[in-house]
Structure 1
Amino acid sequence: MDIAILKAEITHEPVKKQACDISQLYSNFFDGHHVTFFDVCAQQYPEKHYDLYVVTGSAASAYDDTPWVIALRKFIRHNSDKRILGVCFGHQIIAQSLGGKVEKVGWNLGCREVFIQKREAWMEPDSQKIYAIFNHQDQVVVLPENATLIAGGQQVPIQMYRIADNILCMQHHPEYIAKYQQALMKHIAHVIGDMPTIDDAMSSYQDAEHLFSMRKWVNAFFAEKI
């Protein structure tokens, strides 16, 4: 696949030194595919067609009225017939752009369980529960009208959804590795400000060996549409 990564986040230097840049994580996740990065914070967008558009995580909120967030919502609305993967903020802004609703509900950090609520044919290997990395304080509270809920849980009822057969979204970070998330949490600890929450998240990384690779699911969902 020829993939456009709509990059809405930056990796701060301390995190790069301890782990890597976010671009490297996406390149690794889509190993074997051709990826091109676009800085949507600077309102850089593809000028040609791509097989897949990926909207990344971000420190911004999907409901912000900053010019670049408004432009990204407009891009999503105008390209909702294309193949799109939404990750964390991407998952949120796609919902917000297409009739859903996003709200700030508090921090959800660390390795957490994701419970599959709707089994679909592309979800091989089959699993009813997976472990994934979360790092967010906003979440989708109302799905777009034509969305199908795939996974949820008590703290995050809307963890994964799809729209038709061309848009797939997930609140967790399938591209993250534990080392990157740990470095990031140390860097933003002063922003989080809740040490019990941070300590709980850090202790959750003992489950990192159980992290589920979403690569096969993502590849299967999109590849059969090309």
Structure 2
Amino acid sequence: MTLRICILETDVLRPELVDQYQSYGKMFEQLFSRQPIAAEFVVYNVLEGSYPPDSESFDAYLVTGSKADSFANDPWIETLRAYLLERYQRGDKILGVCFGHQLLALLLGGKAERAAQGWGVGTHNYRIAEQPEWMTPAVDDLTLLISHQDQVTALPENARLIASSDFCPHAAYAIEDQVLCFQGHPEFIHDYSRALLDIRQQHLGEQIYQQGVASLDRDHQGDVVAEWMMRFVARGRTGEPV
């Protein structure tokens, strides 16, 4: 059986990056195409007001990253909050990455805000706090590409911490078998991260920029997180592996 995943895009790529990388939805589709559980994807850009019709049904909804602040009150963010709350109350499975990770934490009783630690860029390493059976393949620690200046500073009361670091204490969490979120970007590749660093060099400052560039020498485990996500979604479905 093939999983059906709705990707809720919460941003558009910078114009100079569109030709090479197309969109965040396309980056996620390319990521998930490399993992072993069959899935198909439909992308809706909620920033532009696009949502699935009521007649569509999905096994999970994935909220992407965005340059927007998860705690902002832009009309499109308010609309997305209401939509995700309805999905959650219906029992749908929801995945969140970066902005999505922060927005869902806020929506479900946690806290997200501008981080005192400042910008996180490049490749970052996390400690695994818990390893449920769907986290296959198992790893001792996790490395992901990141680009964020906001963080989840308090988890929802019913959330379980999955991964953390000193820089980002609430880097990944799960809520029962329904919500799974990561601060890092499994869909990023090194070239895209380098392009973002170059674009933001002046804003980041030379020290953070150089540290970020140097960190790109390390591999990352976006493919591992993609498989975790699909195994999390597949749990409880007849004939699907866990």
- In the superposition, the TM-score normalised over structure 1's length comes to 0.94
* 2:32–2:227 Cα contact (<8 Å) kept: no
Bigger shift: 25-34 or 3-12?
25-34
Bigger shift: 127-136 or 21-30?
21-30
Residue 163 of structure 1: how far off its partner (Å):
0.7
Tell me the SS of whatever aligns to 1:144.
Answer: coil
Report what 1:29 is aligned to: 31
Separation of aligned partners in 2, 1:218 and 1:193: 31
* 1:110–1:202 Cα contact (<8 Å) kept: yes
Write out aligned runs for 1:91-110 (5 A): 91-105=101-115, 106-110=118-122
Match of 2:208 among 182, 197, 204: 197
Tell me the SS of whatever aligns to 2:119.
Answer: strand
Report what 2:168 is aligned to: 156
Q: Deviations over 1:53-82 (max 9, x none)?
A: 000000111110110011111111111121
2:45 corresponds to 1:39: yes
Tell me the SS of whatever aligns to 1:203.
Answer: helix
Amino acid paired to 1:96 = L
Change (3 A) 1:130 1:35: same
Residue 165 of structure 1: how far off its partner (Å):
0.4
Tell me the SS of whatever aligns to 1:95.
Answer: helix
* 1:132–1:173 Cα contact (<8 Å) kept: yes
Report what 2:63 is aligned to: 55
Structure 1: tracts of 5 or more residues without a match: none
Residue 212 of structure 1: how far off its partner (Å):
4.9
Tell me the SS of whatever aligns to 2:66.
Answer: coil
- In the superposition, the TM-score normalised over structure 2's length comes to 0.88
Q: Sequence identity, in percent?
A: 33
Residue 18 of structure 1: how far off its partner (Å):
5.3
* 1:162–1:169 Cα contact (<8 Å) kept: yes
2:81 corresponds to 1:73: yes
Q: CA RMSD in A?
A: 1.5
Write out aligned runs for 1:143-182 (5 A): 143-182=155-194
After superposing on structure 2, the runs of 4+ consecutive aligned residues of structure 1 that deviate more than 6 Å are: none
Amino acid paired to 1:41 = L
